[in-house]
Amino acid sequence: MKHASLAVLVAVALTAAPLRAQSLLYRPPNLGGTWVPDAGVVQFNFVHRFHVSEGPVNEVQNFPTFTFATGVGHGLALGWRFGTNSIIGPGRLDNNESEWFVRWRAHGVEGRDGFGVAVTAAYNELAQSGDGEIGVDYTVRRLTLSGAVRGMSHPFREPDAKAALAGGAVVRLTNYIAMSADIGSRVSPATRAVWSAAINFLIPGSPHTFSLQASNAATSTIQGNSQGLLRFDGSSQILYGFEFTIPLHLKRFSPWFHGSPKPVALGAPAGAAIAAEVDMAAIKFTVETVTISAGQAVRWTNRDPVEHTVTFDGAAEPGSPVIPPNGSYVHRFDKPGTYTYHCTPHPFMKGVVVVK
Ligand SMILES: [Cu+2]
């Protein structure tokens, strides 16, 4: 039963309706990009970078940054980033960096050819700084070019406002794999420039993207992305790590709050007797093989919180539309034969109808 619930959870997490979502295939690591989640979507991105300090201790130093953002419609997003081991803080005792932001996508759609423009206003609590970014990108087929202009009222707790510039590119080698890199710097005073390079993946059949990256930037905030991390001897500190992006479609959690949905009956027995029942539960057809006579019908009932289909291999029979949770589907078989079928969203779900 434990395994069944786990299978359901995994399937719920992986069966997102639209795959269009904030994606590392359109954004190099240290650029905010122009993405804004759709209304009703909570975006959770997790960047984790680390380095191993030089001997004798060889301690791993971690630099995680969490991003939460939600779309509120009209191209607007509200978000919060939280990073630790920030280089903005006054010392090792106070180095948790928190940045609140509002982003408005003024133009364009992520992943579509053409220009995208987003304006971000932020407040960095650690630096006590009002920050802003204008992000622009241009996508043409497999290439996305990105740029950003940033302003910070108190960068790294300094008294005077300063600007930073950054630019980068993503090249999509396939629909699932991309390479990306960027470079950025504060305009003045001359501080260590920031850079990153990454290989980015879209996880097939999911809305999740993942990247493996190297960079000299610590936290992934407007300020953190504007200045490189230095070693004690003044040389650049290279960090390695990954980013994982998770869009959560709130609509998918509605069964938690609304009880079981109303039964929906699809298909029709067309005057035939229902000779076999097959439940869909725990992402499986609970009866693998049913045997009926020609002219009889089978009824499938979805007991899962996710959608399924009954799709015949080689389109031997028409097959069902999407069967919602608590929905059922009836189909009558007129010709003897062995009909193998599967579920389109979960191709590992398989069953057989033998008609004598
Ligand atoms: Cu399914």
Domain at 95, CATH number: 2.40.160.40
247 and 181 in a common domain = yes
- In the reported structure, the alpha carbon of residue 42 is separated from the centroid of ligand 1 by a whole-number distance in angstroms of 24
- In the reported structure, the alpha carbon of residue 228 is separated from the centroid of ligand 1 by a whole-number distance in angstroms of 47
- In the reported structure, the alpha carbon of residue 4 is separated from the centroid of ligand 1 by a whole-number distance in angstroms of 14
- In the reported structure, the alpha carbon of residue 296 is separated from the centroid of ligand 1 by a whole-number distance in angstroms of 24
- In the reported structure, the alpha carbon of residue 292 is separated from the centroid of ligand 1 by a whole-number distance in angstroms of 23
pLDDT at 12 over 50: no
177 - beta bridge partners? 201
- In the reported structure, the alpha carbon of residue 355 is separated from the centroid of ligand 1 by a whole-number distance in angstroms of 23
Residue 328, domain CATH: 2.60.40.420
- In the reported structure, the alpha carbon of residue 302 is separated from the centroid of ligand 1 by a whole-number distance in angstroms of 9
Question: Residue 122: inside a domain, yes or no?
Answer: yes
Q: At 294, is the pLDDT very low, low, confident or very high (cuts 50, 70, 90)?
A: very high
Least confident interval from 7-16, 146-155, 233-242, 244-253: 7-16
Q: In terms of Cα–Cα distance, which of 168, 109, 111, 164 is closest to 133? A: 164
pLDDT of residue 175: 87
- In the reported structure, the alpha carbon of residue 22 is separated from the centroid of ligand 1 by a whole-number distance in angstroms of 25
- In the reported structure, the alpha carbon of residue 285 is separated from the centroid of ligand 1 by a whole-number distance in angstroms of 9
pLDDT of residue 92: 55
Question: Residue 198: inside a domain, yes or no?
Answer: yes
What are 170-210's pLDDT values in tens digits? 999 998 999 999 999 999 777 889 999 999 999 887 788 99
Q: Which domain holds residue 332?
A: 261-355
Final residue in a domain of this structure, among 202, 231, 252? 252
Final residue in a domain of this structure, among 220, 252, 284? 252
- In the reported structure, the alpha carbon of residue 324 is separated from the centroid of ligand 1 by a whole-number distance in angstroms of 10
235 and 267 in a common domain = no
pLDDT at 280 over 50: yes
- In the reported structure, the alpha carbon of residue 36 is separated from the centroid of ligand 1 by a whole-number distance in angstroms of 30
104 and 237 in a common domain = yes
268 and 170 in a common domain = no
pLDDT at 64 over 50: yes
196 and 97 in a common domain = yes
283 and 177 in a common domain = no
- The alpha carbon of 90 is separated from its chain's Cα centroid by a whole number of angstroms, namely 34
Question: Residue range 249-259: average pLDDT?
Answer: 71
- In the reported structure, the alpha carbon of residue 105 is separated from the centroid of ligand 1 by a whole-number distance in angstroms of 35
Q: Are 262 and 328 in contact (CB under 8 A)?
A: no
- In the reported structure, the alpha carbon of residue 187 is separated from the centroid of ligand 1 by a whole-number distance in angstroms of 53
Q: At 91, is the pLDDT very low, low, confident or very high (cuts 50, 70, 90)?
A: low
pLDDT at 104 over 90: yes
170 and 142 in a common domain = yes
- In the reported structure, the alpha carbon of residue 19 is separated from the centroid of ligand 1 by a whole-number distance in angstroms of 17
- In the reported structure, the alpha carbon of residue 201 is separated from the centroid of ligand 1 by a whole-number distance in angstroms of 25
- In the reported structure, the alpha carbon of residue 323 is separated from the centroid of ligand 1 by a whole-number distance in angstroms of 9
- In the reported structure, the alpha carbon of residue 310 is separated from the centroid of ligand 1 by a whole-number distance in angstroms of 8
Q: Return phi, psi of residue 130, to 5°.
A: -85, 120
- In the reported structure, the alpha carbon of residue 283 is separated from the centroid of ligand 1 by a whole-number distance in angstroms of 6
Q: At 342, is the pLDDT very low, low, confident or very high (cuts 50, 70, 90)?
A: very high
276 and 163 in a common domain = no
Token pair in block for residue 236: 């650049």
246 and 265 in a common domain = no
Final residue in a domain of this structure, among 189, 221, 252? 252
Based on the structure, what is the number of domains in the chain? Answer: 2
pLDDT of residue 11: 46
Question: Residue 146: inside a domain, yes or no?
Answer: yes
What are 23-50's pLDDT values in tens digits? 899 999 999 889 998 888 899 999 999 9
229 and 283 in a common domain = no
pLDDT of residue 5: 53
pLDDT of residue 298: 96
- In the reported structure, the alpha carbon of residue 178 is separated from the centroid of ligand 1 by a whole-number distance in angstroms of 30
- In the reported structure, the alpha carbon of residue 346 is separated from the centroid of ligand 1 by a whole-number distance in angstroms of 4
- In the reported structure, the alpha carbon of residue 288 is separated from the centroid of ligand 1 by a whole-number distance in angstroms of 14
DSSP state of 111: T
pLDDT of residue 21: 56
pLDDT of residue 18: 38
Question: Residue 8: inside a domain, yes or no?
Answer: no
- In the reported structure, the alpha carbon of residue 253 is separated from the centroid of ligand 1 by a whole-number distance in angstroms of 17
Q: In angstroms, rounded to a whole number, what is the distance separating the alpha carbons of residues 308 and 91?
A: 54
Question: Residue 209: inside a domain, yes or no?
Answer: yes
Question: Residue 36: inside a domain, yes or no?
Answer: yes
What percent of the chain has a predicted confidence (pLDDT) above 70? 91
302 and 207 in a common domain = no
Burial of 63 (0-12, 13-18, 19+ CB in 10 A): buried
- In the reported structure, the alpha carbon of residue 342 is separated from the centroid of ligand 1 by a whole-number distance in angstroms of 8
| Average pLDDT of the chain to the nearest whole number | 88
Question: Residue 129: inside a domain, yes or no?
Answer: yes
Question: Residue 284: inside a domain, yes or no?
Answer: yes
* Dihedral sign of CA atoms 81, 82, 84, 88 in order: positive
- In the reported structure, the alpha carbon of residue 325 is separated from the centroid of ligand 1 by a whole-number distance in angstroms of 10
Query: 339 CB contacts (<8 Å, ≥6 apart)?
Result: 312, 313, 316, 317, 333, 352, 353, 354, 355
330 and 242 in a common domain = no
Q: How many CB atoms lie within 10 A of CB 159?
A: 7
